[in-house]
Structure 1
Amino acid sequence: MPEELDDVLGVFAQQIESRFQMPLQQLRHAVTAAPQASPEATTTIRWYGLLEEAQGALSAAEDHLLAALDRAPAGELEDPVMALADRVNTLVAVRDGRAMVVRHLLDDNAPGNRTPGPWRGAARTGPAIATTPVPRPAVVPAVPVRGGVR
């Protein structure tokens, strides 16, 4: 894996270690032993593992693409090389999506983090927006009569 990609995974690993106050490998073992103990840690570790997996698949696909490009004659690229390029593009999207999920899970200010919401089973106690009743007149105004028809 190129050094800068290791750095990206390393930054996420460092943020996870900082958030949960333990080394990543120890946290993985703790989550494996007791996944219900901390649902937040379990989810974060699961998505970080998926991110590592996606990065590994992407690195392998990039290596295969580079090898195919080295073997390809100058000029037009054949279908197998284009298929490898499409695979790399797909894996980049998968990796980036998983990285966004990990970033979201680590962001305390992200919507849904650290606060109970209806999607987590919290009961709604009132309206979503504080409102005040609209003032209504005590007496209903009379409708004017026109042309004898009421």
Structure 2
Amino acid sequence: MSDGISDDAEDVVGVLTERIEEHFGMGMEQLKAAVSAKPNANPAATDVVKWHGLLVQAQSVLGRAEVDLLAALEAQPSEVDDPTMGLAHRVNAAVTARDGRALVVRWLLDPDAPGKKDLAAERLARLRPRTGPAVPTSAPQRSGGAPAPASVSRAGGFTR
């Protein structure tokens, strides 16, 4: 990205795209086509393709914001005006969005990422049929010598 502020910004998308392609053993376009044809066949691939698309979109927004900011800065006198500061804030927001989406893609690709093991166990638990009710459905049996539960009288005291 020669017009932008950070030349390594596109590398974020490029590096993650390479990792996705290595992970799934196919090119990104082929993976997108496979997910489009059968979105339910591999939920992990579907999630990665979705978030990769969001990452590419965020990178595009960032690129445009950087170009706009550079143009405004080149046309600025010595002090930066409010509209130009607004463009700088737009660039910061775009970087945050892009980096957040990159983190999601990295998390999706890492089988040992924090929370993944718990998530996998939770998914397995949802797939396994229950063998009985989750909560007891009958009142517990009371032994003959157990006192009756206390109740509240109208006067506000406890009675037995």
Give the TM-score range, shorter chain: 0.7 to 0.9
Secondary structure class of the residue paired with 1:77: coil
Code of the residue aligned with 1:26 in structure 2: it is Q
1:81 Cα deviation (Å)? Answer: 0.3
Match of 1:59 in 2: 63
Code of the residue aligned with 1:92 in structure 2: it is V
1-side partners of 2:21 and 2:98: how far apart? 21
How many residue pairs align between the two structures? 123
Counting only pairs closer than 5 Å after superposition, residues 63-142 of structure 1 correspond to structure 2 as: 63-74=67-78, 76-113=79-116, 116-118=120-122, 120=123, 122=125
Secondary structure class of the residue paired with 2:120: coil
Q: Percent identity?
A: 50
Code of the residue aligned with 1:10 in structure 2: it is G
1:113 Cα deviation (Å)? Answer: 3.2
8 Å contact kept, 2:23–2:109 = yes
8 Å contact kept, 2:10–2:59 = no
Runs (5+) with no aligned partner, structure 1:
126-150
Q: TM-score, normalised by structure 2?
A: 0.70
Residue 38 (structure 2) aligned to one of 34, 40, 43: 34
Match of 1:18 in 2: 22
Q: TM-score, normalised by structure 1?
A: 0.75
Q: What is the RMSD computed on CA atoms of the aligned residues? A: 2.0
Secondary structure class of the residue paired with 2:125: coil
2-side partners of 1:47 and 1:72: how far apart? 37
1:43 Cα deviation (Å)? Answer: 0.1
1-side partners of 2:34 and 2:19: how far apart? 17
1:83-125 per-position Cα deviation (integer Å, ceiling 9, x unaligned): 101111111111110011011111121134366232x361599
Runs of 4+ residues deviating >3 angstroms: 112-115
